[in-house]
A and B are shown apart, each in its own frame.
Chain A
Amino acid sequence: MQYSFILNGKSVQITAEDDANLLWTLRERLKLTGTKFGCGVSLCGSCTVHLDGKSIKSCITALSQVEGKKVTTIEGLSEDRSHPLQVAWIEEQVPQCGYCQSGQIMQAAVLLAENANPNREEIIKHMNGVLCRCGTYLRILKAIEKTTQKA
């Protein structure tokens, strides 16, 4: 099957099987491996990307569902780690193993786009779906709060 969509601002056309899924297409067909596989059933958020500006779990998204739409991955969030969240993530030294952090940042980016000044409760509610095993939650919170305070 032929698929076409906008990926990180560029138009993409690819041929793939009928069962092609967004996560594995990003990772294996397009070699954008910043988006991670964690659970496969939308429970952990490691695979979070943006579809037309909303956060979605790419692991349960069929490639056909993004036809003609805009997909943004961690690689497209900024070209040089300059997105305010990436800056804050470095300042706060958030990642440990790092595996969930693309998903964390992509999820947080949607919140900030919708609500420039979320309170702690709103941040937690928004971020609760993205799991971290290393225990970086408090620094994630701090980094998000720092970003909104700066804005």
Chain B
Amino acid sequence: MEAQIESQGLSRRKFLKLGGGITFLVTAVGLPALVFKKGEMAETKQISAWVHLSEDGTVTIYNPASEMGQGTMTALAAIFAEEMDADWSKVIIENAPVEPEIYGIGWGGERGGSMLTVGSRSVSGHYNNLRQSGAQARYVLLTAVAEKWGVDRKELKTESGMVFHPQSNKKISYGEIVGFVKIPEPVPEIPDSDLKNPKDFKLIGKDYQRYDVPFKVDGSAIYSGDVHVPEMVYAAIARAPVNGTQPELQNEAAIRKIKGVLDLVSLKHGIGVIASSMETALNAKAKMEITWKGEPKAKSHNSQDAYIEYEELSKSSQIGSIVAQAGDLNRELPKSQKVIRADYKNDYVYHAQMEPLNAVAHVTADSAEVWVGTQAADGTRNDVANHLGIDFKAVNLHTCYLGGGFGRRSMTDFVIEAVDISKAVHRPVKLQWTREDDLQYGAFRPISLQKLEAGIDQNGNINSWKHVVIGTGGGLLGSGADIPFYDIPNKLIEVRNIDHGVRTKHWRAVGHGPNKFAIETFIDEIALDLKKDPYQLRRELMKDHPRELAVLDKVAEMANWGSTVPDGRARGIAFAERSGSLAAGVCEISLNKSTGKIKVHKIWGALDGGVVVHPENAKYQMEGSLVMGLSSVLFESITFKDGKVEQSNFYDYPILRMEDAPEEIILEIIPSTEKPTGIGEAGLPFMGAIISNAFASLTGKRLRHMPFTPEKVLAII
């Protein structure tokens, strides 16, 4: 069997080299065992790195991206299956081995980058490669059949897992080809002209079910916390309440005496307790008395005071990092007939993915085996290897479903912890973070103050635009701050950063959430000031941007913008782009004036995401992202006092519950033949603005600080 695997592996490697655009050295690493299931060798064939075909016709397609709820494991396989012309009912989807040279993508969509699943880039990044790879798999099958039947390959047709030769009326199923298929050398790149005509697509752009759904209604989907390894023990960690402080355990003897406690492991940022059961690990952790040493920068951080620091920094004549610039703002702004100014604020927000961080690790003398749900598959494998000083190949990483990612699981801190503990105790370890750990040792979407100024000329047009984002989080602050679709001749958009020493991280849509809130609310304020309809003002600004305009017009049409709204309700409108996708939204709200609670009744949304591979799921992603966005806009705030996070669980960090979900969400996708763009975050950025704009329309008062809690609402009405 081993020899067979080896010889099979050789031809596969050559195929990979020629067809996959990767080097022999890299593919010589070999693919992990899951590709060749022992005992199946006679009946199955590895057609390419992307697919495994069985004699019974089962087609196993490898999923190169993390599945965290966004549904791309299905969409990516559908792209491949489309060009292979596989029978979709016989498709099985498995996570690809963590081999970035084969399954990664670069930021331009080129093969062999990283397997990082972020920025809504999975479908847009893999689209061309997977069409090509699917077409190559089909080519391999057709070549084998052509040789077998002694006919020209070009006379063969395929449909849904079958090859036909119309002239002779012969047909054969893909599964039957397994018995005689050879991997031809070389497998050529299939020219675009030989790819399917989009009008013949059977999957792309059609309705089909998500592959993962059945496993998520019976509890059988495996997340990393569900993994059991023989001899496994349990670990919990008490982590630094102030980032950068170091632990000194005061009651070590007492903790070690707890029945079931096996060991304690000192880490730089905390102390791990290892126990024979999960309960004992969690209880012992709670009993640890730790003195935290050190005076790190974070210790002086008080988040509500930070807004004052930002205000001070905004007055500096020193320009920060420039996001975008046009014309000459400093010359033109003072010439304006009128200058409109407004400030916006947003607190830190927490990922709150439903599955608290966890990982299973087993470190031995010269290797490591890890089970984790991660957005950074190869990044994790790499970080573990580097951390342990072992080879990348010596780390066997099993990727699992993610119980939500939203950016938090693109970090590898929790995996390295599990690795450190397993290494220290020489046992496989399941590390579980509590909700409190997950929240208090979170890495948050940055806090920021946004200062906007618009110069209005004598014709009532916006001729200058200044936007300064001041916050903590460096590069996270600037995303979405530019407004390339609004033609304003003079603009200056910049980011100023103060490092408070606390942990910040990408959070679904990154800076787009806060920045589009500020921009799109400001547009509304300008419209009010100029006595223009906010929809019409946006139309004027984007009149030379037809795609953007079509999205805005679509949502206005869907909501019948300008029509009469029921008593006690009002509407807001906004536009935002994210990951190349264009989105616009309208909401209809009411207000309980005694409690200060905003109720969102309806949201309409329009989306242009280029070619949409899985429209039902794309809409559902938009629905999910606008509900998550609404949650952040209405409820979510992390505050720091003397460097400590003041919240700890869902009672003081509420996220949106069913009672606060919109009553109705109506979404449309604009048909397009443009290249696919990222969809998983596109519904989120406009949420702050549509709520603030509707609220202003309802009450005449402006909400400029997210979240719009009842206390803030009551304070202004």
Chain A contact residues, CB within 8 Å of chain B: 16-17, 19-21, 24, 27-28, 31-41, 43-44, 46, 73-75, 77-78, 81, 86, 89-90, 93-102, 105, 124-125, 127-141
Contacts and interface: CB of A to CB of B under 8 A. Distances in A.
Contacts of B215: 98
B620 A98 contact: no
A39 to B, nearest CB: 4
B689 interface: no
Contact of A38 (B217, B222, B355): B355
A139 B661 contact: no
A141 B649 contact: no
A94 B402 CA distance: 16
B651 A81 contact: no
Given A97-B401, A98-B216, A101-B217, A38 B658 contact: no
B354 A19 contact: no
Contacts of B354: 36, 38, 44, 46, 97, 99-100, 131-134
Given A89-B217, A97-B355, 11 more contacts: A19-B279, A24-B279, A90-B213, A95-B69, A95-B212, A98-B215, A124-B658, A131-B354, A136-B624, A137-B661, A139-B620
Contacts of B625: 135
Interface residues of B, number: 68
A104 B656 CA distance: 15
A77 B68 CA distance: 25
Nearest to B67: A97
7 contacts: A43-B650, A74-B218, A81-B214, A94-B217, A99-B355, A134-B624, A135-B628
Nearest to B651: A43
Interface string B604-633: 000000000000110011011111100100
B659 to A, nearest CB: 5
B170 interface: no
B209 A38 contact: no
A45 to B, nearest CB: 10
Contact of A131 (B220, B401, B650): B650
A128 B659 CA distance: 6
B650 A135 contact: no
A98 B658 contact: no
Contact of A20 (B277, B353, B402, B617): B277
B218 A86 contact: yes
B655 A131 contact: yes
Interface string B424-444: 000000001011100000000
B255 to A, nearest CB: 15
Contact of A140 (B658, B664, B665): B658
A39 B628 contact: no
Interface in B645-659: 649-651, 655-659
B69 A134 contact: yes
A127 B660 CA distance: 12
A75 B219 contact: yes
Interface string B265-307: 0000000000001111011000000000000000000000000
Contact of B71 (A16, A96, A99): A96
B624 A37 contact: no
A132 B401 CA distance: 16
A109 B226 CA distance: 23
B404 interface: yes
Contacts of B218: 34, 74-75, 77-78, 81, 86
A13 B465 CA distance: 71
A124 B599 CA distance: 15
A35 to B, nearest CB: 7
B209 A43 contact: no
Contacts of B580: none
B223 interface: yes
Interface string B192-234: 0000000000000000011011111111111101101000001
- Give the one of A17, A130, A134, A138 with max B CB within 10 A: A134
